[in-house]
Amino acid sequence: MIDKEKIRQAIRLFLEGIGEDPDREGLRETPDRIARMWEEFESMRSFDMKLFEEFGDYNEMVLVKDIKFYSLCEHHLLPFFGQVHIAYIPDGVICGLSKLVRTVRAFSLRPQVQERLTEEIADFLDKELKPKGVGVVVEAEHLCMSMRGAMSPGHITTTSALRGVFLKDMKTREEFLKLIKGV
């Protein structure tokens, strides 16, 4: 649960901590805006898992490329963002694009690390769709790398998580990676 009062107090203190006056005009509403933003994130995270549909005998790979996402690195609370590519080989159940988009959103709108985001999406789809296999690739730019530290703007970090036949069968894995590269 989101504790908006706690967030408001914390942001006010944070602003004081960086030498700002939290009562000046531009900042006065900021603690409340941030509290409401996190409440919105929380409401966007939940979705109805029953939306996955039974679907006949389709046995070929389903691939959805370039699902845009925005997340926050848990080390700096700065955004990292990019795209997720998801493929799976169904075993009687498929789902529409909007459910995949919501799955990505559910795991990205929280303090995250890219590796865990990738694994959580793969594990969730593996559990809900029970496919023959699933593959997830995430490509992202991290503002904590672009704005500070290494100062490496535009640098893209790629992570992947493979389950089932994507892990066991080299041909499936190669097909998946080839299809992604055809962006």
Active-site residue numbers? 73-76, 114, 142, 144
Given the rule CB under 5 A, which of 52-60, 112-120, 139-147, 151-159 is the region that contacts Zn ion?
Answer: 139-147
The yes or no reply on residue 143 touching Zn ion (CB under 5 A) is no
Subset of 67-96 contacting Zn ion (CB under 5 A):
73, 75-76
Encoded tokens for 13: 């203190």
Q: What is the largest CA-CA distance in the chain?
A: 63
Residue 52 neighbours by CB under 8 Å, 6+ apart: 93, 94, 95, 99, 128, 129
Residue placing its CB nearer to Zn ion in the complex, 75 or 116: 75
Output the smallest distance, CB 73 to Zn ion, in A: 3
Binding mask 29-68 for Zn ion (x = CB under 5 A): ----------------------------------------
The secondary structure of 87-118 as a DSSP string is: EEE-SSEE--HHHHHHHHHHHHSSEE-HHHHH
For residues 163 and 6, give the distance between their C-alpha atoms in angstroms, rounded to a whole number.
40
Which stretches of the chain bind Zn ion, using CB under 5 A? 73, 75-76, 144
